[in-house]
Structure 1
Amino acid sequence: MSNTFTAPVDAAELTSALIRCPSVTPEEGGALVLLQAGLEAAGFTCTRIDRGGVSNLFARWGDKGATRTFGFNGHTDVVPVGDADAWTVDPFGAEVKDGQIWGRGATDMKSGVAAFVAAAVDMVAQTPPDGAIIITITGDEEGDALDGTTAILDWMDAENEQMSVCLVGEPTCPNEIGEMMKIGRRGSMTAFITVTGVQGHAAYPHRANNPIPALARLVDRLASHTLDTGTDHFDASTLAVVTFDTGNPATNVIPAQCKATVNIRFNDAHSSASLSEWLQSEADAIAAEFGVQIDMPIKVSGESFVTPPGALSDLVAAAVAAETGMQPELSTSGGTSDARFVQHHCPVVEFGLVGKTMHQVDERVEISQIHQLKQIYARILADYFA
């Protein structure tokens, strides 16, 4: 595909070009270079915001400080291919067959980036809006997300760049395009629990202090606890035990140490701080009961948030309904996304394609859906600036 984007931009061709860029986190792979060249040729002012070995792109059409500024956010980094021999196509070949484009990132989310870039370029070329359009694209959404969208937003704050509202183009629909949009996301945190006792011979348990019963009791108490029953916009919070390990191959040895990991997905009834306090209180009680030491570092991936239904969700829902005939469900389900960072900057919602094959072997996207998504984004822009 040419580095010059000429309206009307073919979003499917752009998707293919992006898939051919092997941008596995944190490699840029040529994807942002391609987008920057095309956007600059279309009249956007572009800035590369690279931090911590991560490549990011900021692009604006229109005046800085415009009264109305519509923002798009997305990512061009992708998860690793995995077992390359399990693929039936070249993961970075963008092969077209059965009306689909195949390759890593086809669904998550190079098609979404291509669709909103194409819609934005077409609008500024054909019906220049009274306002500004900002596009922010990161190369660190699938990684630790420490130097991706957060780096862009830090730079925007320093440069007084402001989005009035933002749409994140992540895949949001379970089965059919148009059925779901996201107005928030659950928070996510992980506790890494290590219980230390005293090693000993299994025949003389009184001379040891077995950490396994202590950890089993703690894990049971955590997993059996009802965090909540849901809130106005969220389902009930969940806690999942994802590992329980001793690493002990011997049958006649009581180990000195064992470990478990729990992941909590939480709604707006909690914060990571309140849940951390609860986890620690439970650990302290078990440590005192069993006479063991419990260490429990906690990693917080994001807090829960919701953009209350209103002008932005109405705008997106109306465009989706007009183009698909479906009224999207306003959901907060699923994992985390970079909307958790954007929500500190401006109101944000998410809408994108069907996500059935994301992160899978033979990831692929319906070509017809890419064109449909571009039309939805184009209608959103037209209605926003009307």
Structure 2
Amino acid sequence: MEVPVLELAQALLKCPSVTPADEGALTYLADVLAGLGFEIWHLPFGPEGAQTPNLFARRGRTGPHLCFAGHTDVVPPGEGWRHPPFAAMIEENVLYGRGASDMKGAIAAFTSAVSTILQTRELHGSISFLITGDEEGTAQHGTRDVLGWMKAEGHIPDFCLVGEPSNPEKMGEIIKIGRRGSLNATVTIRGVQGHVAYPLRADNPIHRLIALVNGLRSRTLDDGNAWFQPSSLQITNIDVGNEATNIIPGQASLRLNIRFNNHHLGADLAQWIKETTREYAPDATVDVAISGEAFLTEPNHYVESLARSIEAVTGQRPQMDTSGGTSDARFIAPYCPTAEFGLVGATMHKVDEAVHLGDLDALRDIYRTFIMDLGL
């Protein structure tokens, strides 16, 4: 059966799957894919009673193997929508709903593209879907755990296309071929509280904190490269918990984030932060969390095929880009070459998130052209 892209997009949008809730989104998609001849695996991972819902579906067992990855969970809608956020209403050829661009629309487009191909012929290889219900949340037991299962079961693809909204303003602008890594650190420096009039009886941790900030900020991490902007360290919070004007606080803390390119590994940056902290505040505590490493997929025949397909449908040759935040592609890239291409992201996470119906059709056509250009 052919699956109309608009019909599927509206059905998914009507599921109020605010992370970590699913509200039937994955079950509905699984039923559609089963109707297209896909084998279905429901893969809940995580602690009992709070498991993350995930879906893996595959049609075909031979290579080449193309995987489409995405998520059905969405961020909270907020207030002030012109249409109810989960009503999937259309006004002047625009489909409104939380998740329209990020990224239920892309899931609908890829599913519809596969269905149109299956109307006329069998696949020459295999196609799979890796869909999680936890990308907008903690991302602890979603794509990452499914990939472990896929490796154990022999489902690692030759290439993975993630349907994140990659285009800033119009279809065909950008393919994401990499992402920067992200590291968060919290440094806590303890001193001795006291009266500001008697500084010798106290130990002001703020002074060491300021010296540490200057020490961290004085290093140029790198100058970037052909694919990545320079890495950036940003102080995101300084807190001393002191509302009085005549007290030297007993503790000071800072939080920082580093968005780093492929010149670095997260562990190396973490070690540098700890060593620099010891230099200025030997007794401080440092907690580091690495949410993802930088990755780059050098343009290969899959990426070039995707670019040709985008140009064929939109008339525009897309740029290769690595900017922006993190996505689940950071978990997939260590397993196989990975790129991202989806809808226009101008309204994602905003009130009145929406997609133009022409863009939804264009994305379906791009995905269909891509699959056929690969010879699948």
TM-score normalised by structure 1 residue count: 0.94
Are residue 39 (structure 1) and residue 48 (structure 2) matched?
A: no
Equivalent in the alignment of 1:128: 122
The corresponding residue for 1:381 is: 371
**Is the Cα contact below 8 Å between 1:312 and 1:349 reproduced in 2?**
no
Q: Percent identity?
A: 45
Task: Quote the Cα distance in structure 2 between the aligned partners of 1:36 and 1:305.
Answer: 30
- What are the within-5 Å matches in structure 2 for residues 276-287 of structure 1? 276-287=270-281
SS at match of 1:265: strand
Q: Is 1:356 aligned to residue 352 of structure 2? A: no
Partner in structure 1 of residue 322 of structure 2: 332
Match of 1:222 in 2: 216
Return the offset for 1:112.
0.8
Post-superposition Cα deviations, 1:296-345, rounded to whole Å, max 9, x if no partner, equal 10010100010111211101000001111111111111111111111122
Tell me the alpha carbon deviations over residues 238-272 of structure 1, each in whole angstroms, 9 at most, x when there is no partner. 11111111221112211111221111100011110
Query: In the alignment, which residue of structure 1 is the partner of 2:193?
Result: 199
Q: Secondary structure at the match of 1:242?
A: strand
Q: Identify unmatched segments of 5+ residues in structure 2.
A: none
Counterpart contact for 1:228–1:237, Cα < 8 Å: yes
Query: Which residue of structure 1 lines up, in the alignment, with residue 98 of structure 2?
Result: 104
Report deviation, 1:220.
2.6
Which residue type is aligned with residue 143 of structure 1?
G
Match of 1:87 among 34, 57, 81: 81
Assess if the C-alpha contact under 8 Å between 2:302 and 2:374 holds in 1.
no
Query: Are the aligned partners of 1:49 and 1:151 in contact in 2 as well (CA < 8 Å)?
Result: no
Shift in Å, 1:381: 0.4
Task: Name the residue aligned to 2:226.
Answer: 232
Match of 2:69 among 51, 55, 73: 73
AA in 1 matched with 2:33: L
CA contact (8 A) 1:178 1:327 kept: yes
Query: Map of 1:126-165 to 2, 5 A cutoff?
Result: 126-165=120-159
For 1:220 and 1:108, the matched residues in 2 are separated by 38
What's 2:163 paired with?
169
| Alignment equivalent of 2:308, drawn from 301, 318, 340 | 318
Kept in 1, the 8 Å contact 2:187–2:255? The answer is yes
How far apart, CA to CA, are the structure 2 residues paired with 1:99 and 1:155? Answer: 41
Name which of structure 1's ranges 196-205 and 48-57 shifts more when overlaid on structure 2.
Answer: 196-205
* Aligned counterparts of 2:16 and 2:89: Cα–Cα separation in 1: 14
1:3 is matched with which residue? none
Distance 1:259 1:20 in 2: 44
SS at match of 1:385: coil
Please give the TM-score of this superposition, normalised by the length of structure 2.
0.96
> Over residues 173-198 of structure 1, what are the superposed CA-to-partner deviations in whole Å (9 max), with x where a residue is unaligned?
11111010011111001011111111
Q: Which residue is 2:19 aligned to?
A: 25
**Partner-residue secondary structure (3-state), 1:190:** strand
**What is the distance in 1 between the residues matched to 2:274 and 2:308?**
46
Q: Give the structure 1 partner of residue 57 of structure 2.
A: 59
Name the SS of the counterpart of 2:257 in structure 1: strand
Q: Which amino acid aligns with 1:110?
A: K
CA distance in 1, matches of 2:293, 2:136: 17
Deviations 1:207-256 (A, max 9, x none): 11111121122123223421111023111111111111122111221111
Q: Secondary structure at the match of 2:359?
A: helix
What is the CA–CA distance in structure 1 between the aligned matches of 2:263 and 2:121, rounded to whole Å? 44
Q: Match for residue 7 of structure 2? A: 13
Number of aligned residues:
372
Separation in 1, partners of 2:201, 2:354:
59
In the alignment, which residue of structure 2 is the partner of 1:254?
Answer: 248
> Equivalent residue of 2:291, what SS?
strand
- Per the TM alignment, residue 10 of structure 1 is displaced from its structure 2 partner at its CA by 1.7
SS at match of 2:267: helix
TM-superposed CA distance for 1:103, in Å, is 1.5
- Unaligned runs of 5+ residues in structure 1 are 1-5
Q: Which moved more, 1:370-379 or 1:214-223?
A: 214-223
- 1:119 deviates by 0.9
User: What's the counterpart of residue 362 of structure 2?
Assistant: 372
Distance in 2, matches of 1:339 and 1:125, equals 30
Tell me the secondary structure at the aligned position of residue 298 of structure 1.
strand
Residue 71 of structure 2 aligns with an amino acid whose one-letter code is: H
Taking the aligned partners of 2:312 and 2:291, their CA distance within structure 1 comes to 35
| CA deviation after TM superposition for structure 1 residue 122, in Å | 2.1
Query: Does structure 1 residue 341 correspond to structure 2 residue 331?
Result: yes
* Segments of 4+ moved more than 3 angstroms: none
Q: Secondary structure at the match of 1:297?
A: strand
How far is 1:67 from its partner?
2.2
Q: Give the drift of 1:155.
A: 1.1
